[in-house]
Structure 1
Amino acid sequence: MQQMNAQRPDRIKRDPAPSRAAYRIHRLWLTPLFRALLRVGLPSFTVIMLIGLYVSDAENRERMNNIAREFRAAIETRDEFMVKLMAIDGATVPVAADIREVLSQDFPVSSFDLDLEAMKAQVETLDAVKSAQLRIQSGGVLQILVMERIPAIVWRNNQGTVLLDAAGVLVGPVETRMDRADLPLVAGEGAQDHIPEALDLLQAAAPIMDRVKGLVRIGERRWDIVLDRNQRILLPADDPILAMARIITLDDAQDMLARDLSVVDMRLGYRPTIRLQHDAADGLRRIRVSEIGVTQE
């Protein structure tokens, strides 16, 4: 027994403490950031690397693009996304026709292929359109709400005759003056820049409006009011409304415009002057000659 014990070597007892490397690995594993990198970062990096390797091949990229295009087309061409017709509200027949011509859109078309902002800008390029709103209604209807410019005056210039709104913005051409005889007439270069003032003058001349044929812009700085019977009122550049009010007062008091006058000049407010018609001036001269006893040959 002693001999067997003598043959068995004494076993070396292991130190229960971990090695330095094992201790460090254990401590590292207890770090939240390290565990997150192993659990999330490493798998994510592996997936990204595999995807990168896959898309680095041109054929794979083309295959993916085709799949994406087919998927998008399948969604965009669904019936609920198709626009089948256009409806225009708030526009007259000629303006509506111009809008359809400007947009020139073929239907049916996917709503994803319609750039509503660009189409709105196209519609608002028309002179007669003040503003427009575009929206797609249920049932596949492209709804266009139009606010037209309202013609307020006819402007005759060297290029022809056009309609302007109350702000002087172009509405559109007009063939002849008689096509819009219901609107007042202005003429002269630069008149379009002073339409609000012209409308105020016409309002001030309301008591004699049945005799007013139109307004003429002179030298791009002042107005003349043209009346029937070849009469003309010359207004000053400054405060023409006040000068017009004085004309109306004089006419009410003395029937001045009913007389044989050709021109009433109000350009000098402190000294208004009048000019007689040619026949009236000749008659006045004859009266003066007879009063002084001189005989004309």
Structure 2
Amino acid sequence: MRTLIRSRREDRAAAPHDPAPSRLQYRLNRMWLSPLVRALVTRVLPVCLLLAALGVWGSRPAQIATMTGWVAEIRASIEARPEFQIRQMAVSGASPVLADAIRARVGLDFPVSWFDLDPAAIRDDLVRLDAIARVEVTVELGGALRVAVTEREPAIVWRRDSGLELLDASGHRVAFIDRRDGRADLPLITGRGGDAAVPEALRLFEAAAPLGARLVALKRQGERRWDMVLLDGPVIQLPETNARAALDRMMAMETAMDLLARDITTVDLRNPDRPSVRLGPEAMEYLQMTRDFTQGLATR
């Protein structure tokens, strides 16, 4: 006789199979349908695992040494190729003396690899030379290091306590010289602070051009103003401001009255409203004699 009570196991076995997926399986299927999840699983995850494995493998000292050797060999083979070898240096825009100084400053032993050159560093080093205003350094395919130079043009000679210097029109030093007659074609300035007032000095030399060889030099006084020194003539004391205008007026008097040919030692233009002159010994004696003669006539 069969029992009327069945166990749960028998009930589950007797129940028909449900084809619907479980809740977890359903969610996993939905996630797999997402393009982002599928890309992460099929592409990103394998790459990450591969990189992690390579990182573990490459972190060993023996592997690091091996890879370093490989890189060095590859770099050396590339640098040794003929198209990357610099065999000469071409300098343009410089005088022979300056070109030799540039080659000595760069100091490269050719041939040298293109990868061992730093044009920016070479340029920064060369621009420190006094005679160079601008410089461009380029590496050309075919094996040439080209240095294009714009050289400073000396415009004036500055005599200072330490010697003679050539300056350009802005007052920047160009070179040292041993003797004045080495550049007798250039005007001469003296005194402390003369280099800072070169543009004004050049304008004064231009205004005094009619004096020619009589003009010896401009002397800086107190780093504030100029004195103009003439050969066998008076010293012209110029004002601190508007020195060019004061000199133009004095040159007009020179043209009209031949002022500088008279027996005077100083022409004082420091006060533009009251220019004055200091007479020489003979002129003072003549003036005194004239005054005495005038006073003698007045007493009669």
TM-score, normalised via structure 2 length:
0.89
- SS of the counterpart of 1:40? helix
Partner Cα separation in structure 2 for residue 90 and residue 167 of structure 1: 20
Matched residue, 1:28: 31
RMSD of Structure 2 on Structure 1 (CA): 2.0
Q: How far 1:22 sits from its partner (Å)?
A: 3.3
Q: For 1:23, what is the secondary structure of its paired residue?
A: helix
Q: d(CA) in 2 for partners of 1:239 and 1:49? A: 79
Partner amino acid, structure 2, of 1:40:
R
SS in 2 for 1:220: coil
Q: Is 1:121 aligned with 2:124?
A: yes
Moved more, 265-274 or 113-122: 265-274
SS at the partner of 1:17?
Answer: coil
Deviations 1:84-109 (CA, angstroms, capped at 9, x unpaired): 01111111111111111211111111
Give the counterpart letter for 1:206 in structure 2: A
Seen in structure 2, the aligned counterparts of structure 1 residues 17 and 138 have a Cα distance that, compared at 3 Å, is: closer
Q: Aligned AA for 1:104?
A: G
Q: Offset at 1:178? A: 0.6
Alignment of 1:217-232 (within 5 A): 217-232=220-235
Amino acid at match of 2:67: M
- Counterpart contact for 1:202–1:209, Cα < 8 Å: no
Q: Give the superposition deviation at 1:26.
A: 2.2
Q: 1:148 aligns with which of 148, 151, 154?
A: 151
Other structure's SS at 2:192 match: coil
1:177 corresponds to 2:180 = yes
Query: After superposition, what is the alpha-carbon deviation per residue over 1:73-129, rounded to whole angstroms, capped at 9, x for unaligned?
Result: 111221101100111111111111111121111111111111111100111110011
Q: 1:85 aligns with which of 61, 66, 88?
A: 88
When normalised by structure 1's length, the TM-score is 0.90
How do 1:264-279 residues align onto structure 2 when only pairs under 5 Å count? 264-279=267-282
Match of residue 57 from structure 1: 60
Distance 1:23 1:35 in 2: 16
The runs of 4+ residues in structure 1 deviating greater than 4 Å are: 10-13, 286-293
Asked whether the 8 Å contact 2:119–2:139 carries over to 1, the reply is no
1:243 aligns with 2:246: yes
CA distance in 2 between counterparts of 1:167 and 1:205 reads 20
SS of residue matched to 1:91: coil
Partner of 2:139: 136
| Residues 28 and 272 of structure 1: CA distance in aligned 2, closer, same or farther (over 3 Å) | closer
Greater Cα shift, 117-126 or 207-216 = 207-216
Q: CA deviation at 1:269?
A: 1.6
Matching residue within 205, 208, 216 for 1:205: 208
| 8 Å contact kept, 1:168–1:193 | yes
**Contact 2:84–2:141 (CA under 8 A) maintained in structure 1:** no
TM superposition shift of 1:12: 6.8
Worse overlay, 144-153 or 258-267 = 258-267
Question: 2:237–2:269: 8 Å Cα contact kept in structure 1?
Answer: yes
Which residue is equivalent to 1:5? none
Query: Deviations for 1:182-235, whole angstroms, at most 9, x for unmatched residues?
Result: 000000101111110001111111222332111001111111111111421111
In structure 1, stretches of 5+ residues that fail to align are: 1-9
Q: In structure 2, what residue type is equivalent to 1:111? A: W
Deviations 1:34-77 (A, max 9, x none): 21122112211221121011112111011011101111111122
* Partner AA of 1:24 in structure 2: R
**Equivalenced residues, count:** 285
Residue 194 of structure 1 is matched in structure 2 by 197
Residue matched to 1:158: 161
Deviation at 1:271, TM superposition (A): 1.6
Provide the identity percentage.
42
Quote how far apart the aligned CAs of 1:292 are.
Answer: 5.2
